[in-house]
Amino acid sequence: MRKNIYWAVILVFGAVSQVFAEPAVTIGWEERFRYEYKKDFDLNAAAKDNGGLFFHRFRLNAKATLGDAAEIFIEGLDAQTGGHRIKATANQADDFDLHQAYLNILNIAGSDIDVKLGRQELKYGKYRLIDAPTWSNRIRAFDAGVVHYDRNGFFGDILYGQDVKYDDDKFNTSRNEEMLAGTYFGYQQDKSAPLAEGYFLSFIDIKGANDIHRHTVGARLQAKIPAGALVDIEMPFQFGETGTTTAGTRTIRAYAFHADVSKSFEKCPWKPKLAVGYDEASGDKDPNDSVNNTFVPLYQSTHAPYGLMDLFRWQNMRNPEVSLTFSPMEKLKVTPQADLFWLQSKFDNWYNSSGGNVRTKTSGERGYYVGSEVSLRAAYEVNKNIKLESGYAHFFPGSYAKDSGADDEADWFYTQVVAKY
């Protein structure tokens, strides 16, 4: 069934392309192989659930540029996993399916407005709220419509879409009960000038008694300071309401904050770049009252913003971080990094990158300090088409982890090769 739908989309792609004189058609593909080894990710050595996983992803796409009028893009994606002793997470495998298929109508009626309709990836800002994370074997997509404006440094999107639900046995369809709508806008005079962005995003999840109406409003600023360092600051707030089984409808009042400063030393050997950052997101103060203080990062990037091991996300956390990137040889980049993690509220859960509970909420007697992570990763660009990458990370449990259950140290290793044409 899914193959028939995929080929039907290809036929439509070809037919529409023929309507325009001499459309420019380009074909592209990407293939990635990755191996991961995880040790004591649940901080419990007695569970003996260590092991490795192999990931394979293949993407094939075609793009037709129809003069100055429109673009048509179609992409299929196949994601497979294999390994032993440990299972892949729920969002890793999917037989070849339609990942993207959209029509982008350009400069409508001679204006600076474009309209993109169809299945597509959405990415905004530094991907802390809306992203199509390529680290995952399967990549997030939306069945969406986006109106885009760009003129004289001003840009903005009005969007409405539904997250695509992956089904390994059937054709992937969007989640009818989940909706994302809003606007993302900004101004940047040129690439070297300060960047200012703002957004209002509404997430609605209609699931009976547990309906969620979560609205996010925020701003982001990126600019260079006199010392030559680059500063990036973002702060969103959330409001709305959500239903629970114990307190009835709960009012949402939550916040998050991000700040980082980075400085490159291009004239020094190995061209080092030093970066220091801090992230915070509110957690619930009392699960039984009428106010929900848990910040939820919508459709965020699922890897690397808060350590490499993906044990945390922008939800009930405090995370100072420092990293140093340098190039000991041409085309090779090496990055050691260190992260510290605290809970923002000890009455809320410890959440991993996918939103799962690593440890559930307590009565509040335990500490805030969850632990620390140190990591090292290296990336080598063989040529413009092939890239090699490897990394290692180690997690040291803190007082909260020790007081709330098993507290064994955890390890993670990965190596991958990506070919793209």
Total number of residues shown for the chain: 421
Mean pLDDT of 147-158: 97
Three-state DSSP at 114 gives strand
pLDDT given for residue 272 in this prediction: 97
Q: What are phi and psi of 209, to 5 degrees?
A: -70, -20
User: For position 373, what pLDDT does the model report?
Assistant: 98
Q: What is the average pLDDT score of the chain?
A: 90
- Does residue 129 have a pLDDT over 80? yes
With b for 16 or more beta-carbon neighbours within 10 A and e for fewer, the 321-350 pattern comes to: bebebbeeeeeebbbebebbbbbbbbbbbb
- Mean pLDDT of the 88-104 span: 82
Residue 67 in this model has a pLDDT that exceeds 90: no
Instruction: Give the pLDDT score at 201.
Output: 98
Q: Facing residues of 419 across strands?
A: 31, 386
Amino acid at 224: K
**pLDDT for the residue numbered 101:** 97
Q: What is the pTM of this model?
A: 0.91
pLDDT tens digits for range 231-272: 999 999 999 998 755 557 899 999 999 999 999 999 999 999
pLDDT-based confidence at 216, cuts 50/70/90?
Answer: very high
Question: Is the pLDDT assigned to residue 386 strictly greater than 80?
Answer: yes
Q: Is the pLDDT of residue 75 over 80?
A: yes
Q: Model confidence over 391-408: pLDDT tens digits?
A: 999 999 998 888 888 889
- Average the pLDDT over each of 195-209, 212-226, 244-258, 338-352 and give the range with the smallest value: 244-258
d(CA 39, CA 410): 6
Mean per-residue pLDDT, 136-159: 96
Phi, psi of 42 (to 5 degrees): -95, 10
- Res. 345: pLDDT tops 70: yes
Structure tokens that stand for 370 in this block? 């969850």
128, two tokens:
């802390």
Per-residue pLDDT band at 210 (split at 50, 70, 90): confident
Query: Which domains, and CATH codes, for the chain?
Result: 2-111+211-420 (2.40.160.100)
Which one-letter amino acid corresponds to residue 173?
A: T
pLDDT for residue 9: 56
**What are the structure tokens assigned to 210, written together?**
């547990």
Residue 91: what pLDDT? 58
Residue 398's pLDDT is 93
pLDDT tens digit string along 24-58? 899 999 999 999 999 998 888 888 778 899 999 99
Each residue's pLDDT tens digit, 357-370: 888 866 555 678 99
Res 93 pLDDT > 60: yes
